[in-house]
Structure 1
């Protein structure tokens, strides 16, 4: 099976390398960054600088790129992905995409929609490395069934949603909760620390309580050590929230907590910039309350 993997970033690189380990797969990678491509090659994996070469090579094309803009650029036009799809070639998109972009793709795909599967991912870089991702899969059941061996390599929690586009919706809904959780955790920490409890102790109390969970275990340490987690960027967080707000407007939903979260992230983006570490959003809370968790002792 020949697989072309487009997008060798923070998530795509470990995913592609896990596929590369399979003896059943002949993998070819591609990324717009030459530095990233060279890093992939240093892992004894094949890569190309030509998108056309990758598309022609592949039985299955997997994309894992930042968002709608990149997806459109890769897929629409002569010799791009959609133009080259046929009964023997399938496109799996693992990107976090908007529903408006999906509707655009659906019009371009037409009858080729059966050769398209949206398979959005969740779990972060560590679970991408270990092959323990959660994957939300939308698409024609017959097509999806042929691809299960790929999903089983990449993830452990697999959700087959059948309808094309459903994977995108599931990812947007799921990832939105992450941003609400980050802010809620930081506020809970602030209550305890302002009352004289050391940040490390307060985090341990939260983590071991009924309110503890993945967010406090995985991201709590990044909040109190002051690095604000370098594995993801604030601009990408805002991109995800914008996708959620698109659904809110489309479905005419009234979600006040989501609206407030978006406002806080917009403020953080303006203050710190899109390339800041994503948890730097909590620095607004720290500044407003004249307290920095990392300076309070752990």
Structure 2
């Protein structure tokens, strides 16, 4: 069976690595937190002392990391231990230019890079039903696809450039975040004006353009459940990457910058570790501020 490595055992990485174990793979895993590695070792994974040890024991190395600079640092540590023919698959939400730069650097040593961010959140990572948006050579994807199927239902090849998957993930997040804030404000305004939120949500759910924010997220907020498994700090980071991507391509996103400001204010008040579900409460306080 393919030798697999996994670096980054956080909210998304741990359940994805657990799905590899459940599918019969024997991953070598690493995280800066010893307890995260030990939790996977207790389930049968091989714990590594550093990222180099992961590279020495794997032909496919998955990265699930919090930001592009962290990805660059980890790849710099990985590089001396990588062998020709291996594949580095970055599952993180990153910048296309960062992924393409890493791919150019590692190509010198015969190593392929796939930029393969995911969507589906913690529930999808746990259930193995994620969608993966892959940029990179199709031959490298063919090598990795059977392994990815352990944690993903849909694996979509976006294009031959390693940064193509990152670009699509940023654009997908843009639409999702705009919908999230617009739908949240709409429901809060409806409640403030005296509308029952339940039939309002039924109407909003009937509009195909809305979908996820009204059918999944907002009912939980109305019921007081705010843990959606995605920190405000990560949301703000993704929006920063998005607006930078727009600027890099001479396409300033006016609405994107407005959404980034709103999330930034919420993060300043609530803290970067607050679940992004708390943003609804922050918007509620803004809308009802004159009622206090």
> Given the two structures, how large is their TM-score scaled by the length of structure 1?
0.88
Q: Does 1:89 align with 2:90?
A: no
Tell me which residue corresponds to 1:219: 217
Question: Does the 8 A contact of 1:233 with 1:278 survive in 2?
Answer: yes
2:124 aligned with 1:127:
yes
Superposed displacement of residue 223, structure 1: 2.2
Q: Return the offset for 1:34.
A: 1.7
Matches within 5 A, 1:233-248: 233-248=231-246
Whole-angstrom distance in 2 between the partners of 1:218 and 1:21? 28
Q: Partner of 1:26: helix, strand, or coil?
A: coil
CA distance in 2 between partners of 1:149 and 1:136 (Å): 15
Instruction: Note closer, same or farther for the CA distance 1:8–1:189 as it changes in structure 2 (3 Å cut).
Output: same
Could you tell me how far 1:197 is from its partner in structure 2?
Answer: 2.2
Answering whether residue 87 of structure 2 is matched by residue 51 of structure 1, we say: no
- 2:134 counterpart residue number: 137
Pairing 1:263-282 to 2, within 5 Å after superposition: 263-282=261-280
1:63 matched to 2:63 = yes
Can you list the C-alpha shifts for 1:7-26, whole angstroms capped at 9, x where unaligned? Answer: 11111111111111223x32
- What's the CA shift string for 1:23-54, capped at 9, x where partnerless? 3x321221111222222233343323332222
Question: CA, structure 1 residues 290+265, in 2 after alignment: closer, same or farther (shift >3 Å)?
Answer: same
Partner of 1:190: 188
Matched, 1:18 2:19: yes
CA distance in 2, matches of 1:257, 1:281: 18
Shift of 1:282: 2.7
Structure 1 gaps, min length 5: 292-298
Residue 250 of structure 1 and its aligned partner are, at CA, apart by 0.8
Partner of 1:226: helix, strand, or coil?
coil
Measured after TM superposition, the shift of residue 75 of structure 1 is 0.8
Quick one: which of 157, 160, 173 aligns to 1:160? 157
Unaligned runs of 5+ in 2: none
- Tell me how far 1:259 sits from its aligned partner: 1.7
TM, length-normalised to structure 2: 0.90
The offset of 1:114, in angstroms, is: 5.3
Aligned equivalents of 1:230, 1:289: Cα separation in 2? 22
Q: Residues of 2 paired with 1:228 and 1:181: CA distance?
A: 17
Alpha-carbon distance in structure 1 between the residues aligned to 2:104 and 2:87: 17
Equivalent residue for 2:8?
Answer: 7
Q: Number of paired residues?
A: 288
Residue 75 (structure 1) aligned with residue 72 (structure 2): no
* CA–CA separation in structure 2 for the residues paired with 1:190 and 1:5: 42
Q: Is 1:111 the equivalent of 2:111?
A: no
Aligned-pair distance for 1:235?
0.4
2: CA distance between counterparts of 1:201 and 1:43? 45
SS at match of 1:278: coil
Query: Aligned residue for 1:296?
Result: none
